[in-house]
């Protein structure tokens, strides 16, 4: 059994955090530490397969990612008092696990993603930028940023992606993400989340006011159909990376919900 790489800190009721596509547990580092120290929670931040320091696999699906997380639950002895939270792709992993294994969770938090299908075209520029970085010829991080910039004008997005760049033991540059597997799996990552029975426990959806990942129709139809005991909280002036843009607001929303 190959376990997901994770960081376990704090004591109290467990909160498990799953990052989004091309992310790592480091994206949640500051908030995770705050929930552990200020909110009295046991916080487990996770690197999903093909991301961060977790294992690489040619297979990348929500069924497999949810199974990976369940294995980690078993390894850590996490009981039904656990809250599971996921952002974007990680939110779809969290929804999949909640729908398939509701008995394993106390409640669910989903950050800026809806259960509906996404065509993933919005990732085309990011994939093109990542593929434009010639790792073999790369001498500096600045060169990598310049290659990304030809496809990705937003500095914040490039900085987020460059967190995946590291120096291997031979001092060459490499990606922590499994770029070929993730690129091949983009259609699967956009898949709709469905369930034969709804998840009846408390669920909080956190959406960015400037983001279109959760639409009015999602709030009225798609989300309540699967998560009837849910509420949608909007963080004003935040985009898709709500937790990076408005950490204080996200901290309070989660602390009060898990409360």
Q: Which residues have a Cβ under 8 Å from the Cβ of 91 and sit 6 or more positions away?
A: 18, 20, 110, 111, 112, 113
Tell me the β-bridge partners of 45. 7, 17
88 catalytic? Reply is: yes
Catalytic residue chosen out of the listed positions 5, 51, 60, 88 = 88
240 catalytic? Reply is: yes
Catalytic residue chosen out of the listed positions 19, 60, 240, 243 = 240
Which positions are annotated as active-site residues?
Answer: 88, 240
């Amino acid at each position: 059994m190959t376990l997901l790489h994770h960081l376990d800190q704090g004591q109290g009721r467990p909160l498990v955090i799953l990052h989004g596509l091309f992310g790592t547990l480091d994206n949640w580092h500051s908030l995770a530490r705050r929930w552990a120290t200020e909110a009295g929670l046991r916080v487990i931040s996770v690197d999903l397969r093909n991301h961060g320091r977790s294992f690489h696999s040619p297979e990348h699906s929500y069924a497999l990612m949810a199974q990976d997380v369940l294995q980690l639950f078993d390894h850590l002895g996490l009981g039904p008092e656990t809250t599971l939270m996921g952002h974007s792709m990680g939110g779809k992993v969290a929804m999949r696990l909640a729908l398939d294994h509701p008995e394993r969770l106390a409640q669910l938090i989903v950050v800026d993603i809806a259960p509906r299908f996404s065509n993933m075209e919005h990732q085309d520029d990011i994939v093109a930028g990542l593929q434009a970085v010639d790792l073999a010829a790369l001498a500096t991080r600045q060169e990598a940023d310049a290659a990304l910039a030809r496809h990705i004008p937003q500095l914040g997005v490039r900085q987020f992606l460059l967190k995946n760049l590291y120096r291997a033991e031979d001092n060459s540059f490499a990606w922590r993400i499994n770029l070929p597997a993730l690129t091949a799996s983009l259609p699967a990552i956009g898949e709709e989340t469905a369930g034969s029975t709804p998840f009846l426990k408390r669920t909080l959806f956190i959406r960015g006011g400037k983001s279109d990942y959760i639409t009015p129709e999602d709030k009225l139809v798609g989300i309540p159909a699967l998560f009837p005991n849910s509420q949608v909280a909007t963080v004003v002036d935040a985009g898709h990376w709500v937790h990076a843009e408005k950490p204080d607001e996200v901290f309070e929303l989660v602390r009060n919900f898990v409360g």
